[in-house]
Amino acid sequence: MATILDGRATSAAIKDDLKKKVEAMVAEGKNPPHLVAVMVGNNPASKAYVGNKIKFCGEVGFKSTLLQFETSITEAELLAEVDKLNNDPGVDGYIVQLPLPEHISEDKVIETVHPDKDVDGFHVQNVGKMVAGLPTYLPATPFGITKMMEHYGISASGKNVVVIGRSHIVGRPISILLSQSRPYGNGTVTVCHSRTQNIKEICAEADILVVAIGKANFVTADMVKEGAVVIDVGMNRVEDASRKRGYKLVGDVDYEAVEPKASYITPVPGGVGPMTIAGLMLNTYQSALNRK
Ligand code: BQF
């Protein structure tokens, strides 16, 4: 029987703390942190994610603004909107919800966000600072995972950490953070990806397994060492006729089979997802503290 790494409870604790800090800020006569979410089109998953971010803002006393644009917005028009946010002193931080439509370069948009307002931590300047171990905005999901580890007292120090996935948003940055000399870091990290051979054998050596590959039930029980910590970043919609929505959310791990072998495991939903939102909010609060 594994201990559940409860992302809802952990993010609620962070919420309580942030709420008090915002109240103190406002009592000093300062404006509360202000997060803007930019959304293009109406992808249902993106809508839900943006909704989660706006809701969290309300719960901690942040100001939030949702900017919605039609799928037909041109790249130049979107970049002009980003530029406006960069120059608006009333905006502490903002996110551009990904994915963007095909005709818009995500890289161009990310590099146009001013690094001081880049609360997603995706700008190359902030990625560089992260790699160098300098203070910066950490990408929300890896940041949230480290906060979850901190909350449960799980350190990577001296442990075999295996990360499945090398995306710029999750796999790559979490692999860097957990290998760095920092609290809860100092792990021996292996990154697996689509060209990895013997992935099952490598995973079976992991003391801490972080899975961010985007394939339902990718990690099976034979890939998990007895007593491992299993962190499932997957968010997959699979058909489920018994639900009124017609689908259910599952991670990248075969939860039922893996849970009995794990010492700690994140559920999906209610695991890493809420911690991602908490990470974004911590960055936004930090941005408000950094106001010039
Ligand atoms: C939960 C995301 C893939 C691609 C782009 C809480 C979220 C999800 C689940 C959420 C995600 C995933 C977000 C739960 C934000 C996490 O209770 O389990 C919150 O809103 N997320 C995103 O903004 O973009 C994504 C996943």
Domain boundary among 115, 131, 153: 115
Q: What percent of the chain has pLDDT over 90?
A: 99
Asked if residue 19 belongs to a domain, the reply is no
Name the band, by pLDDT with cuts 50, 70 and 90, for residue 134.
very high
Find the catalytic residue in 6, 63, 92, 97. 97
User: What atom of ligand 1 comes closest to residue 95's alpha carbon?
Assistant: 23
On whether both 207 and 266 belong to a single domain, the answer is: yes
Number of structural domains found in the chain = 2
Residues with CB under 6 A from ligand 1: 49, 52, 98, 235, 268-270, 273-274, 276-277
d(C-alpha 58, C-alpha 64), whole Å: 8
SS3 45: helix
Name the band, by pLDDT with cuts 50, 70 and 90, for residue 115.
very high
Asked if residue 129 belongs to a domain, the reply is no
Q: 273: CA distance to ligand 1 center in Å?
A: 5
pLDDT at 148: 98
pLDDT at 1: 84
Asked if residue 131 belongs to a domain, the reply is no
pLDDT at 133: 98
Q: 224: CA distance to ligand 1 center in Å?
A: 25
Name the band, by pLDDT with cuts 50, 70 and 90, for residue 197.
very high
Asked if residue 14 belongs to a domain, the reply is no
User: What atom of ligand 1 comes closest to residue 214's alpha carbon?
Assistant: 3
Strands 247-250 and 264-265, by their bridges, are unpaired
Asked if residue 72 belongs to a domain, the reply is yes
User: What atom of ligand 1 comes closest to residue 271's alpha carbon?
Assistant: 18
d(C-alpha 230, C-alpha 255), whole Å: 10
Asked if residue 175 belongs to a domain, the reply is yes
Per-residue pLDDT tens digits for 19-59: 999 999 999 999 999 999 999 999 999 999 999 999 999 99
Asked if residue 233 belongs to a domain, the reply is yes
Mean pLDDT of the residues in the chain: 98
Structure pTM?
0.98
On whether both 238 and 184 belong to a single domain, the answer is: yes
Per-residue pLDDT tens digits for 205-256: 999 999 999 999 999 999 999 999 999 999 999 999 999 999 999 999 999 9
| CATH code at position 187 | 3.40.50.720
On whether both 217 and 93 belong to a single domain, the answer is: no
On whether both 187 and 252 belong to a single domain, the answer is: yes
Per-residue pLDDT tens digits for 152-172: 999 999 999 999 999 999 999
User: What atom of ligand 1 comes closest to residue 249's alpha carbon?
Assistant: 18
Averaged pLDDT for residues 187-212: 98
Per-residue pLDDT tens digits for 257-269: 999 999 999 999 9
Is 240 among the residues known to form the active site? Answer: no
Q: 209: CA distance to ligand 1 center in Å?
A: 20
d(C-alpha 33, C-alpha 17), whole Å: 14
On whether both 54 and 111 belong to a single domain, the answer is: yes
Sign of CA dihedral 111, 112, 116, 120: negative
Averaged pLDDT for residues 84-111: 98
Return the closest-CA partner of residue 167 out of 142, 135, 200. Answer: 142
Contact 160, 188 (CB under 8 A): yes
Contact 266, 148 (CB under 8 A): yes
Residue 262 domain boundaries: 140-274
Nearest protein Cα to ligand 1, atom 3: 235
Nearest protein Cα to ligand 1, atom 17: 270
On whether both 170 and 238 belong to a single domain, the answer is: yes
Q: How far is CA 176 from CA 83, 91, 186, 204, in A?
A: 30, 30, 10, 21
Pull the structure tokens for residue 121: 């931590």
Is 53 among the residues known to form the active site? Answer: yes
| CATH code at position 90 | 3.40.50.10860
On whether both 59 and 96 belong to a single domain, the answer is: yes
pLDDT at 101: 98
Asked if residue 16 belongs to a domain, the reply is no
Name the band, by pLDDT with cuts 50, 70 and 90, for residue 292.
confident
Ligand 1 pocket test: pick from 56, 276, 277, 283 the residue with the most ligand atoms within 8 Å of its Cβ.
276
Is 19 among the residues known to form the active site? Answer: no
Contact 75, 102 (CB under 8 A): no
Find the catalytic residue in 53, 117, 147, 159. 53
